Amino acid sequence: MNFGLSNEQEMVVKTVRDFVEIEIYPHENLVERTGEVPPELGAELKRKCIELGFYACNFPEEVGGAGLDPVTFTLVERELGRGSMGLTVFFGRPSGILMACEGEQRERYLLPAVRGEKVDALAITEPDAGSDMRGMKCSARKDGSDFVLNGTKHFISHADVADFVIVFAATGEEETSKGTKKKITAFLVDRGTPGFEIKKGYDSLSHRGYNNCILTFTDCRLPQSQVLGEVHRGFDIANEWLTGTRLTVAATCVGRARRAFEMALPYAAERQQFGRPIGANQGVSFKLADMITEIDAADLLTMSAAWRLANGMPSTREIASAKLYASEMLARVTDEAIQIFGGMGLMDDLPIGRFWRDARVERIWDGTSEIQRHIISRDLLRPYGA
């Protein structure tokens, strides 16, 4: 494994860091205060990202993306992680699962998403089916050559601005050695399809301005052409194209933790109490030592998992470890950053309190910490038949 970055990767990191510092940071307070991103600001960020050539940088060049390999894309996510997610979402990274589009789906969904003309959202979670995805109740019943979709999805990120949603629904059942299991199919559902409603979701502790939605399907009729991948094989395409998304959570956590650390370090050196810098006390300086050690450890776990992915090596366990450790590390680092800033750490004048609030969701979405531990331990024990 090569720990150094190529010249191209250095340039990518600098370009994205500059974008975040110049285009994102100045608007963060507005988004925090209002919980909204003004549409014209979102459009402007998207336009600038397209101009930079970074829009859909996670997609291959043959479909119009920048064709970044998993390591370089993880570096992009690490830099974006520094910024407020309500804003960095406009630095568009459509869902990789769109690569499963075939035939005319490519013209209707994949290519417009890569060009930034259409925005997608991904809907798996339901009120009664979170970690247990296969427990989903949303169903798509076959009716002639169509499917009829009924059910509810919730917590669906940025569906408020989506032109279409990739929806997972149960299309049947099968008997397996572990009992009856639902067969799941993925569908492409356009905003405005009769029977499909997108409603405002819950107000969230984390990531103001990055909204979640509730989707309802009431006898929503979809032709066969809206099936993404094969019928009953929704989880196959999810496994093929969504493996890397947990890595982006890990990278985000590393970037945000470094930003918090980079604020805490000079503060500890400059803030005077009892006639000397607070950092002169071991009670503070050892916190800094622990913070940087954990950040670097999470960074290395994340980048090595990305490297395995880029080299076609098994990486499910390593990605789960990176997501688990980096998201839990971010919680500890942002908590200690508040402690170093004292009372000011809690005030809206500084972003530290926000980093701490935003950190909380990283241990929940894209598979909770417990589910990551489940993935890791299953991977370890499976060879022993346990």
Q: Which residues of this protein are in contact with ligand FAD, per CB under 6 A? A: 122-125, 130-131, 155-157, 204, 212, 361, 364-368, 370-371, 374
Cα–Cα distance between 151 and 283 in angstroms, integer?
53
E-assigned strands of the chain?
120-123, 139-143, 146-157, 164-176, 179-190, 196-200, 212-223, 227-228, 272-273, 276-277
Give the residue at shortest CB distance from ligand FAD. 130
In the complex, least distance from residue 63 CB atom to ligand FAD, rounded to whole angstroms? 22
| 196: β partners | 217
- Is residue 369 classed as helix, strand or coil in its secondary structure? helix
Give the nearer residue to ligand FAD in terms of CB position, either 219 or 370. Answer: 370
Task: For residue 348, count CB atoms less than 10 angstroms from its CB and return exposed for 0-12, middle for 13-18, buried for 19 or more.
Answer: exposed
Q: Indicate the residue type of 62.
A: E
In the complex, least distance from residue 368 CB atom to ligand FAD, rounded to whole angstroms? 3
In the complex, least distance from residue 186 CB atom to ligand FAD, rounded to whole angstroms? 11
In the complex, least distance from residue 15 CB atom to ligand FAD, rounded to whole angstroms? 27
Short-list 249, 209, 191, 194, CA closest to 371: 249
In the complex, least distance from residue 264 CB atom to ligand FAD, rounded to whole angstroms? 26
Give the nearer residue to ligand FAD in terms of CB position, either 66 or 136. Answer: 136
Give the nearer residue to ligand FAD in terms of CB position, either 152 or 285. Answer: 152
Cα–Cα distance between 20 and 317 in angstroms, integer?
30
Check: CB of residue 92 under 8 Å from CB of residue 58: no
Angle at 360 between CA 348 and CA 54, to 5 degrees: 85
Give the nearer residue to ligand FAD in terms of CB position, either 156 or 329. Answer: 156
Give the nearer residue to ligand FAD in terms of CB position, either 200 or 276. Answer: 200
Q: Which residues lie closer than 8 Å to 360 by C-beta, 6 or more apart? A: 205, 206, 331
In the complex, least distance from residue 364 CB atom to ligand FAD, rounded to whole angstroms? 5
Give the nearer residue to ligand FAD in terms of CB position, either 150 or 204. Answer: 204
